[in-house]
Chain A
C-alpha cells in the first residue's frame, strides 16, 4: 500500500464493502422478485389452461346439445313432411269427392228433369186417354139412348093397329123400327167396345204415370242423397284443408327450427374454432412462461456465484481493512 493514503483506502474499502452488500442485496431482492413474478406467471398460466379446459368443456356441452337438437329436428322434419304429405293426399281425395259429388248431383239433376218430362208426357197421354174414354162413353150413352128410342118406337109400332070396317085389326109394318133397333144395338155394341178400349188405354196411361212418378220420386231421393254427399264432401274439404294448413304450419315451424339450429350449429362451430385458438394461445402462453421460468436456475446460479464472490471479496476487504488499521496504528494515525 505504499504511496496510498491508508485513511483514503479505508474509506475506499468501506465503500466497496457497502457496494458489494448493496449489490448482493439488490441482486437477491431482484432474483426473489423475478422468482415470485414467474411463480405468479406460472399460476396465471395454469389458471389460463384451466379456463381453456372449461371453455373446451362448454363447447363440448354445446356440441352434445346441438347433436341432440339435430336429431330431434331431423325427426320433426320427417314427421312434419309425412304429416304434410298425408294432408295433401287427404285434401286431394276430398277434392276428388267434391268433384265426383258435383258430377253425381248433375247426373241426378238431369235424371230428375228427364223423369219429370217423362211424367208430364205420361200425364198428357193419360189426359188424352181419359178424353177418348169420355168421348167413347158419350157415344155409348147416345147409342144406348138411340136403342131405347128405337125400342120404344118398335114397341109402339108393334102395339099400334087400325080396325077396318069389318072390325079386323090391321097391324102396322114395323120392319123399319126393327131395323132401327138392330142398328141401335149394333151402335151400342160398337160404343161399348170403344169404351172398353178407351178404358184400357186410360189404365195403361195411368200405370205409365204411376211408373213415371215413381221414377221422379227415385230421382228426387237420389238427388237428395247426392246433395247430402256433396255437402258432406264440402264439409270434409274444410277438415282436410285444416289438416293441410296444419301440415304446412308444421313444415314451416320445422323449417324455422332447422334454420335456427343451423345458426346455433354455425355458432358452435365458430366457438369450437375459438376453443382451438384459445388452447393454442394458452399453450403458447404456458410455453413462454415456462421458457422464462427455465432461466431461473441460470439467474440463481449467477446469484450463487455473486454471493460466493461477494463473501470472498468481503473477507478480502475485511483482511485489508484489518491490515490498514494495524498499519494506521503503527504509524500513529
Chain B
C-alpha cells in the first residue's frame, strides 16, 4: 500500500473520529443543557457550572485539535503522493537507465573494436605505402636513349 493511500485512510479515520467526537460532544452538550433545564436547584446549578460547562467549553478546542491534525495529514497526503510519484519514476527508470548505460558500454566496446581494426589496417597500409614509395624512388627515371 502506498504511503499516500495509507495517509488517505488515516485522514478518513481521523475524519470519522472527528465526526463521532462532534456527534458525541453535541449529544453531551444537549444532555447537559437539558439537565440544566430540568435540574435547576443549587446542586444542579453547581454541577452544571463545575463539570458540564468546562467540558462543553472545551469541546471546540478538542474538535479544533483533531481537525487541525486532520488538516495537517490532509496537507501531507498530496505531498506524500508527489514524493511517491517521483520515487516510483526514479525506481522505475533505474533499470531502464542501467540498460541504456549498458548499451552505451556495448557501443564503446564496438567502437574500440572498430578503432583497433582501423588502427591495425592503417599502420599496415602506411607501412606498405612507404615501401611502395621507397620502391618508386629507387626505381628512378628511365635511361635517356642514345642521341
Contacts and interface: CB of A to CB of B under 8 A. Distances in A.
Contacts of A20: 28, 51
Contacts of A281: 79-80, 82-83, 86
B139 A260 contact: no
A229 to B, nearest CB: 5
A234 B94 CA distance: 52
Interface in A241-262: 242-244, 246-247, 249-251, 253-254, 256-257, 260-261
B38 A44 contact: no
Interface stretch (A102-110, A126-134, A148-156, A185-193): A102-110
A313 B47 contact: yes
Interface string A292-308: 10011011001001100
A72 interface: yes
A322 interface: no
A257 B109 CA distance: 10
B31 A41 contact: no
B101 A69 contact: yes
Interface residues of B, number: 94
A185 B71 CA distance: 156
A66 interface: yes
Given A16-B35, A104-B136, A261-B104, A86 B86 contact: no
A83 B119 contact: yes
Contacts of B66: 30, 34, 299
Interface in B1-29: 3, 6-7, 10, 13-14, 16-18, 20-21, 24-25, 27-28
Given A58-B90, A306-B58, A38 B69 contact: yes
Contacts of B38: 4, 8-9, 12
A147 interface: no
Contacts of A199: none
Closest 4 CB pairs of A and B: A111-B142, A243-B121, A118-B145, A240-B125
